[in-house]
Amino acid sequence: MQQYARVRSTAGIRSEEIDAGLRAHMNKVYGTMSVGMLITALAAWAIAGLATTTDPTLATAQLANGTLLTGLGSAIYLSPLRWVIMLAPLAFIFLGWGALMRNASSGMVQLSFFGFAALIGLSLSSIFIVFTAFSIVQTFLVTAIAFAGLSLWGYTTKKDISGWGSFLIMGVIGLIVAMIINIFLQSPVMMYAISAIGILIFAALTAFHTQEIKNTYVQMAMSGDQEWLNKAAYDGALSLYISFLNMFQFLLMFMGQE
C-alpha cells in the first residue's frame, strides 16, 4: 500500500492512467481466476460421472459407501496412480510455474493455468462421491462470500501486510507436511486441526496476495512492460485461485455432508 501511494504521488498526470490500468488488471486477475474455477468444477463433475456407475455389470470396484466404480474410477481412486494425481499439482506449482513465468509467453502461461485448473478438477473429483451436491454448493457459496470480503479488505486497506508473506508460506509448508503425515496416520482429530489452521492461513493469504497483486502492478506499470503485466495477471490469478480452493476444501471438512 505504501508503494502504491508513493508511485501515485510521484507519477503526476499518469496517476489516473495507473488507476485505470490497475482496475483493468484486477478485473483480468479475477476474471482469469473465475474461469479457472469453472474449469475445475466442470472437470471434477465430469470425471466423477465417468468414474462411477449405477450398473453393477460395468463396475470394477465398490467403495465403502457403496459407490460403484468404473475402470477409470478404480484407476484414479484406488491404484497407485492416485498418488501421481495428488502430487502433480504441487510439482507444477513448485517446479513448473516459476519457469513458465520466466521463459514462456503470456499466452502459454494462461494456457498452463487453465491446464492446471483441469488437473485440480481431476484431483478434486472425489468430493462428488464423498459429499452431497447440496453441501458442496453451500460450502462454495460460503467460501465465495468469505473470499470476496477478504480480497476487498486486502485491496482497500492502508495497512502494509507484506510482512505476513514469509510467516504464511512457512505455515503452508507446515500444513503440507502435516497432511502428508496424516495420510499414513489417518487421524480425524489431526485432520480437523489441519483444516481449522488451513482456513486461517489461506484466509490471510487471500488478503496478502490481493495487496501484493496491486503493488506489483503499480511497480511494473511504470516500466510499460505489457508482456510481463499480462503474465503477472495470470500469476496473481493462480495465487488467489489456490487460496480460494484451499479455503473451500478445508471448509468442506466442517460443512460437508456425506
Count CB-CB contacts under 10 A for residue 91.
11
Question: Long-range contacts made by residues 193-198, C-beta under 8 angstroms, separation at least 24?
Answer: 194/250, 195/250, 195/251, 195/253, 195/254, 196/250, 197/171, 198/246, 198/247, 198/249, 198/250
pLDDT tens for each residue of 37-50: 999 999 999 999 99
pLDDT of residue 12: 47
Instruction: Residue 232: give the domain boundaries.
Output: 2-255
Task: For residue 13, name the pLDDT band (cuts at 50, 70, 90).
Answer: very low
Instruction: Please give the tally of structural domains in the chain.
Output: 1
Q: What strand order describes the sheet that includes 68-69?
A: 52-53, 68-69, 61-62
Average pLDDT for 51-72: 90
Average pLDDT for 213-231: 82
- Residue 20 and residue 7: Cα distance in Å, rounded? 14
Q: How far apart are the first and last CA of the chain?
A: 43
Task: For residue 20, name the pLDDT band (cuts at 50, 70, 90).
Answer: confident
pLDDT of residue 256: 73
Q: Give the cell for residue 172.
A: 503452508
Global pTM value:
0.89
Cross-strand bridge partners of residue 69: 52, 61
pLDDT of residue 6: 54
